[in-house]
Amino acid sequence: MSVLELNVKDGIAVITLNRPEAKNAINQAVAETMDRTLDEVESRDDVRVVVLTGAGGSFCAGMDLKAFVAGEKVVTDDKGFAGFVQARLTKPVIAAIEGYALAGGCELALSCDLIVAANNAKFGLPEVKRGLTAGAGGLLRLPRQLPYRVAMELALTGDMADAQRMYDLGLINRLVSAGAAMDGALEMARAIAANAPMSLKATKAVIARQQDWSLDEMFDRQAELIGPVMRSEDAIEGSRAFAEKRAPVWKNR
């Protein structure tokens, strides 16, 4: 049985962490397989959006501490922890979360562009309780995605936060009933996958990068990314399809 599964259908790639007996904790095998899998989905023209989830009713409990003690490498040179948190994916990624998203599992979720979570989900960075630090992006991304003092509280106490609180604070896009996270994520993924591939790529890039742009440069930097989209065949096709009251046929060019 593979520690990670990939299924592609209708423009959506579903990546499933498949170590339910360990609450999908990350070991070396998962990290290395994830690294290769992301290369594959990034290169495939039939993939427009990615969904990341976990098997067995839990998203991910973080780094496998047994693997860590045994000296396993749970980071990859190109993509960091789990072969994921430092990846430069141009395609949108949705986290579908049931159960625990803790430590490195929470950092995986923070690395995604969108989050759909079941109301039984738990989030947290408990590294300080283990003599560790949340070095896989949690301390960097959490203050950008939550209010400063909330991020500080979660990081310093190591306590868990429930899905309702995280939804109320804007960390979660959609809150669904227990067992429905994948259905909710696929519904969102289908809405995204119906859109023009070039437009999706440029839109994600602008939103992800704009926070580091100055007021003087932001429109010029945006123009660099969206210019090819506005001049593309798909721009004409989208406008023509709207006028003709039909679904567009995207060519990704």
> Coil, strand, or helix at residue 9?
strand
Sign of CA dihedral 62, 65, 66, 72: positive
Number of domains in the chain: 2
Within a domain: 249: no
Residue 234 and residue 147 share a domain: no
Spatial separation of the C-alpha atoms in residues 145 and 158, rounded to whole Å: 17
Residue 229 and residue 130 share a domain: no
Residue 64 and residue 138 share a domain: yes
Residue 180 and residue 216 share a domain: no
Q: What is the pLDDT of residue 27?
A: 96
Within a domain: 248: no
Q: What is the pLDDT of residue 237?
A: 87
What pTM does this model have? 0.93
Q: What is the pLDDT of residue 207?
A: 94
Cα angle at 248 between 245 and 253, to 5 degrees?
145
Residue 231 and residue 140 share a domain: no
Residue 138 and residue 113 share a domain: yes
Residue 209 and residue 168 share a domain: no
Within a domain: 251: no
Domain CATH for 113? 3.90.226.10
Q: What is the pLDDT of residue 78?
A: 92
Please list the rounded mean pLDDT of every run of 10 residues in the chain (253 residues): 93 97 96 97 96 97 91 94 96 97 97 98 95 93 96 97 97 97 98 94 94 93 92 90 90 88
Residue 128 and residue 227 share a domain: no
Q: What is the pLDDT of residue 108?
A: 98
Residue ranges of the alpha helices (H) in the chain? Answer: 28-43, 65-69, 104-111, 138-145, 148-157, 163-168, 181-193, 197-209, 218-230, 233-243
Residue 144 and residue 126 share a domain: yes
Q: What is the pLDDT of residue 41?
A: 97
Residue 8 and residue 65 share a domain: yes
Q: What is the pLDDT of residue 59?
A: 97
Q: Which residues are catalytic?
A: 107, 127
Q: What is the pLDDT of residue 182?
A: 97
Residue 35 and residue 18 share a domain: yes
Range(s) of the domain holding residue 60: 4-193
Residue 26 and residue 13 share a domain: yes
